[in-house]
Amino acid sequence: MSSPQALPNPDPWGGPASPACWTSPVSLIRLEGADSKRFLHGQSSQAIELAAPGACLATCLITPTARLRGLALALVDGTGLDLVVLEGEGTAIHQALDRVLFPADRVRLDAPQPASLVRLAGPLPEGVVSGASGQWQPVPGGAGLLLQPEVSLGGTAGSPAVLLRSGDARPAWLDDLSPLDPAGWEHWRLGQGFPASPGELNDGCNPFELGLASWVSLSKGCYVGQETLAKLATYDGVKQQLRRWIWRADGAGTPPGSPPDGDPLSPGTALVSAAGERAGVIASVLQLPAPDPAGAVVLGLALVRRSALAATGLLAGGRALEISTPAAFEAPPVGAGKGA
């Protein structure tokens, strides 16, 4: 097996140059029965009710005020569906679904089960991926499922992943991919702008703020949080958006414009404009490895207020940060909620 790799430097947002993967734990919730698709259709943001067997749909689990509980994939089959909880607490999401499940609903809601998701990154070996996007299918050479959503799961848009249930045989070809170390995965995630708990995905954010427009249907009718999301789209009401940031040390390895012993950048650090106006807050932080302090680079994600979205630079504790839009971020819809 190849040794773990971190993403290359000096390109601060570069992806892996060779085939790579990252394995993370997920929760798997089975919904079985004739009403399974209809039930989840009304409890999540994606249009699921009319999905055909084999569909792999990205969806948000949200509150009535459109705050995020979690991110998931719905894998539809002939008798129900599997809900793969990517971000958020599987047990809490299961409890929230169970509370609104009526005896008349023809749905059996199983308890969350542990599973693993192997995200694939970089140029993939020829012949590994087949089939259309937005689908799942048996994985080549193993007992898992190859997922091909139409959205980013932390890598490039539409990058595939392998779902392995407990007891599934790991496909041998995965051993030919270089496993990313935790810093390498975080680097990849931040570059694309995939939200994670608790920094970006929490009860203070809605899907449009985090660039998840493709995870939301504004035309499927009534569902939990639909009214709030429709208003945000109709009236251009999104007040903040996810952005990437980079801080680079000066020649002495110290923060420009601040003392060497200044407070480190950390989640929760306020952002301000050059005029001193509030501009947002840092959500995630990662320091890249460097041969010496003079080459230090720190990067992450931040929630930037609407008034500062055009800025290419902001300040955090006296440090000058470069600001850019994440590679996979989708701009919030404007006016699309009028017909919802």
Can you give the CATH number for the domain in which 165 is found? 3.30.1360.120
Mean pLDDT calculated for residue range 233-253: 85
Residue 182 contacts by C-beta under 8 Å, 6 or more apart in sequence? none
DSSP at 338: G
90 part of a folded domain: yes
CA dist 146 and 131 (Å) reads 10
Structural domain for 26, as ranges: 20-192
Residues 68 and 44 sit within 8 Å (Cβ to Cβ): no
- The C-alpha angle 120, 123, 124, rounded to 5 degrees, equals 55
180 part of a folded domain: yes
234 part of a folded domain: no
CA-based nearest residue to 303, from 276, 277, 288, 283: 283
**Is pLDDT of 10 > 70?**
no
Neighbour-count burial of 152, counting CB atoms closer than 10 A to its CB (0-12 exposed, 13-18 middle, 19+ buried): buried
- The C-alpha angle 184, 71, 84, rounded to 5 degrees, equals 90
CA-based nearest residue to 319, from 249, 224, 242: 249
Task: Give per-residue pLDDT as tens, 205-230.
Answer: 999 999 999 999 998 888 998 899 99
Count of domains observed in the chain = 1
H or E element, residue 43: helix 36-43
206 part of a folded domain: no
Three-state secondary structure call for residue 90:
helix
* pTM as predicted: 0.89
Residue 260's φ and ψ, nearest 5 degrees, are: -60, -30
Three-state secondary structure call for residue 183:
helix
pLDDT confidence of 140, banded at 50, 70, 90? Answer: confident
338 part of a folded domain: no
H or E element, residue 59: strand 56-62
93 part of a folded domain: yes
Mean pLDDT calculated for residue range 71-85: 98
CA dist 172 and 191 (Å) reads 29
Confidence (pLDDT) at 152: 83
**Is pLDDT of 336 > 90?**
no
